[in-house]
Amino acid sequence: MSKGREFAPDDPPAMRITFLNQKGGVGKSTASILLGGVLSTAGYAVAFDDRDEQGSLTWWAREIGRLPIVGDHVMSDVIICDTPGRLDLSSATNRQFLQPIVAASDRVVIVSEKSAFSLHATKPAIAFARAHIKPGAKILLLFNKVRANTKVGRQNVRDLPEFDGVAVLDSFLALAAPYENVQTEGMSAVTGHYREQVLKLALEILK
């Protein structure tokens, strides 16, 4: 397992990147894995903060990725937080759970598919992030499972009013076998063009 870096008194705080959407099935955990894996291979000290009770990210970090989680108390350049899907934001309990997570984040990445249903279901997550994000942090919209050769995949959503003030990332994650295989094979499954695309996405999120 990667041990991260040793603590040093003058180390800056890690950048916290949180993947968010109350809609389930959009691929937040896979996006978290891909981002953490590619940043680790690029030389960043990465740790995962798994806030999803299913524990998928923790399992992957321990068994497949061999990367630390926040509870390992290593110094990190980047902390990647995964949050639950299918989380009703009309519930006060759920809002209280998510509010400090969003407020502590430097980047809140809203993960969505490009379908009309997914975009509609994403609106509450965007509104919640806007309400609780700290000054200087960014809300970013990441499209996942994109079929670029379809009408839906090619649509431009930047001008839709519900996304006003939200940065739509130029980079996206295609619907591709290597991105699914990373769950069981680790980053060795993501090579060539597919790895380049994930690294491009990671650097766009960090900037």
Segment 19-70, tens digit of pLDDT: 999 888 899 999 999 999 999 999 999 999 999 999 999 999 999 999 999 9
Q: How far apart are CA 24 and CA 72, in angstroms?
A: 28
Angle at 47 between CA 41 and CA 50, to 5 degrees: 125
The model's confidence at residue 193, banded by pLDDT at 50, 70 and 90, is: very high
Among the residue ranges 37-41, 115-119, 122-126, 143-147, the one predicted with the least confidence is 115-119
Q: Looking at the whole model, is its pTM more than 0.75?
A: yes
| Domains in the chain: ranges and CATH | 15-201 (3.40.50.300)
**CA dist 98 → 22, 85, 101, 138, 189 (Å):** 10, 12, 5, 16, 32
Residue 161 to residue 36: CA distance in whole angstroms: 31
Q: Output the pLDDT for position 167.
A: 87
Mean pLDDT of 104-122: 91
